[in-house]
Structure formats: structure tokens, C-alpha cells
Amino acid sequence: MPELPEVETMCRGLHPIIGMQIASALCPKISVKPCGMYPEKGKLLKKLVGCEVLGIERRGKRVVIQLDGGNLVFQPKMTGLVSLTDPPDPGHVRLILKVQKKAGSNRKNIAQPEQVFFWDRRGLGTIALWTNEELENHLGPDVLGIDALTISVSELQSRSIKSKRPIKVLLLDQKVVAGVGNLYASEILHRIGVDPTRGADSLSDKEWIALHAAMLDILQTAIRYEGSTLGDGTYRNALNENGSYQNHHQAYDREGERCSKCKRGSIVRIVQAQRATFYCPACQR
DNA sequence: ATTAATGTTCAGAA
DNA sequence: TTTCTGAACATTAA
């Protein structure tokens, strides 16, 4: 399920490895197909060994481990998980990095992690080692940005306003704004009472302002709750605990339930661009 | 036993 | 140029 809040939570959980060194890198033998890697597996693993972890950063829905040998970029897609604790099961671990204190480091022995793993049940996720330039080339403007520097209303509006695509579908386009996922797109539009099927070009200035504010508020709130752990429970925070924002969803996965906002309509499920959308036809116009 | 659905995104076609 | 479709993959529920 990794959307922005879940990826942000993963990144925060990785901070203890900053300053440490990669002692070894391996792909465990598993019965399912290996996940996508760039460069190809052998080269990638070799390049990682000996690198020092300089920092951790979220870019859109990607986890970036900054190394002195490049940026190690994980794209969790549907079911990926980057963590220091135990994976949900051993059969879908795609990469293990053993980490150690750097020689000569004077770091105290405060909960030194021993390994980082990338677990991905479906295996749609990817791992890439990119230069700074390659990383920048793959970036869209982030919803929350570095150090919570957010995209502005005018920037959001100018990037969207010419499009006739349904507003819900447009919010999922990572080239327009990076970080909004399927679940949170439904929540955002429900909050501001806008019908997800409306063309992006039909929104008023006032609605763009509301959309922008709701987007930031919902995503930041979801980060505080460490994301949403859905049905199959694959997503966990750094301590291997479930997120809790799923308890605050107003629309997503609430088909048939009474709308919490208007108390009149009930939530319906439709399909847009082959993805589920949940909304209240009574109050989202 | 099939089929549909699941958090994402990319290439290629329309 | 923009927008839509299918594919990548594993698993569970209907």
C-alpha cells in the first residue's frame, strides 16, 4: 500500500543506519521471481558493498538511501517494504544489506541495526542505484517536498488546469504532483466535497485552494498516524507495528456506509482508470 | 475452478 | 500532444 505517508514512515525508520557502512549485500534465494534491479543484480550488489550511508530521503513514493557511491532508490509500488526489523514472511525478501559501524566511528552502541531488508510480496517494486542526475530526472514536484516545502496552490493549479481528465485520475499522475496515491486521492476529494469524476479543468479557484489545503492536511495527518495498514496487513512501521490512519478513513473502502460528512448519502465505489474510487454522490458535486 | 481485486507505474497504442 | 490500455507479479476472496 505504500503511498506517501507509508513511504515517509519507512524512511524515518531507516535513520539509525545513517553513518553506518554496508558490509555485504545479497539477494536471498526465493521461489518467486526476483524484483527489477538497475543495474542488473550482480553489478548492483557489488557496487553496494563498502558504501557509507550518508542520509535518507523520501522522493514522491520512493525511498532513497544516499550512499557515497550513489543513491539507492527503492520503489515499493504495491507491496514493497523497506525496514530494519523482521519481514512479514521470509519468502519474499528481495534484498538484504548487512550494515556495520564504520571503522573508527565513535558512535555509541545505541541500538545498532544489523541489516536492512527490502521485502515485496508481489514483486512489482524495483531497486535502482542512481547518480544524482538520474535521480533528478525521475522527479516530479513533491506534494510535501524536502523539509516540508510544499507545492504551492498556483503551481498545482497551473500544472493541472488545462487537463480534461477526471480530477481523481489527475491527482494520481505523478508527473503533475508526486506523492498522492489511490487511497488518499479519494479521501482528499471527499473532504472538500468535489465529485471525483469532474474534469480537472472545471474546478474553480476556490476549489483548487481547498484541494491544496486538504491534500497537505490529510497527508501530514496520515504521517502522524504512521500511514494506513490495509486488508492484507503487509505494511508496517519501523517497529513492525501497523499504521493507524485506516481508522480515520472517511471514504476509502467504506462502500455502502453512511457518509460521515453529510449524513444523507452513502459511499459508493466506482472504477476510474482501472482503480477503485470511493465517494459520496450526495455531497461531492 | 475461474475471475476479480489489491497500495503503482511504465511503455506503447489510440 | 494527451489520454487510455495492458502488463509487470503474487495472493486472497468471491
Tell me whether residue A72 is in a domain: yes
Dihedral angle at the C-alpha atoms of A77, A81, A82, A88, nearest 10 degrees? -160
**pLDDT of A235 higher than 90:** no
Tell me whether residue A110 is in a domain: yes
The residue lying closest to nucleotide B7, measuring its CA against C1', is A1
Identify whether residues A57 and A24 lie together within a single domain: yes
pLDDT band at A233 (very low <50, low <70, confident <90, very high): confident
Tell me whether residue A8 is in a domain: yes
Tell me whether residue A29 is in a domain: yes
pLDDT of A1: 64
pLDDT of A137: 84
Tell me whether residue A284 is in a domain: no
**Whole-number distance in Å between A264 CA and B6 C1':** 29
Query: Mean of the pLDDT values across residues A73-96?
Result: 95
**Whole-number distance in Å between A15 CA and C1 C1':** 43
Which nucleotide in the DNA or RNA is closest to residue A75, CA to C1'?
B8
Give the residue, A104 or A36, on which the prediction is more confident. Answer: A36
pLDDT band at A231 (very low <50, low <70, confident <90, very high): confident
Residue A226 appears among annotated catalytic residues: no
**pLDDT of A104 higher than 90:** no
Identify whether residues A119 and A32 lie together within a single domain: yes
Number of independent structural domains in chain A: 2
Tell me whether residue A116 is in a domain: yes
Residue percentage of chain A with pLDDT more than 90: 87
Residue A2 appears among annotated catalytic residues: yes
Residue A236 appears among annotated catalytic residues: no
Q: What is the CATH number of the domain that holds A265?
A: 1.10.8.50
Which of A77, A165, A198, A275 is labelled catalytic?
Answer: A275
pLDDT of A46: 97
Residue A61 appears among annotated catalytic residues: yes
Identify whether residues A171 and A86 lie together within a single domain: no
Which of A58, A61, A62, A94 is labelled catalytic?
Answer: A61
Identify whether residues A94 and A159 lie together within a single domain: no
Residues with CB under 7 A from strand B: A 1-3, 60-62, 75, 77-79, 122, 124, 138, 172, 174, 181-183, 228-232, 234-235, 269, 274-276
Identify whether residues A205 and A105 lie together within a single domain: no
Question: A80 burial class (0-12, 13-18, 19+ CB within 10 angstroms)?
Answer: buried
- For the full predicted model, state whether its pTM sits above 0.85: yes
Which of A3, A8, A187, A226 is labelled catalytic?
Answer: A3
Identify whether residues A186 and A69 lie together within a single domain: no
Contacts (Cβ under 8 Å, ≥6 apart) of A4: A58, A60, A61, A143, A144, A179, A180, A181, A184, A219, A222, A223
**pLDDT of A108 higher than 70:** no
Identify whether residues A161 and A218 lie together within a single domain: yes
**pLDDT of A116 higher than 90:** yes
Of A137, A171, A192, which closes a domain? A137
Contacts (Cβ under 8 Å, ≥6 apart) of A138: A130
- Mean pLDDT comparison of A128-142, A163-177, A229-243, highest-scoring range: A163-177
Please give the residue range of the domain that contains residue A59.
4-137
Tell me whether residue A285 is in a domain: no
Which nucleotide in the DNA or RNA is closest to residue A274, CA to C1'?
C5
Identify whether residues A270 and A152 lie together within a single domain: yes
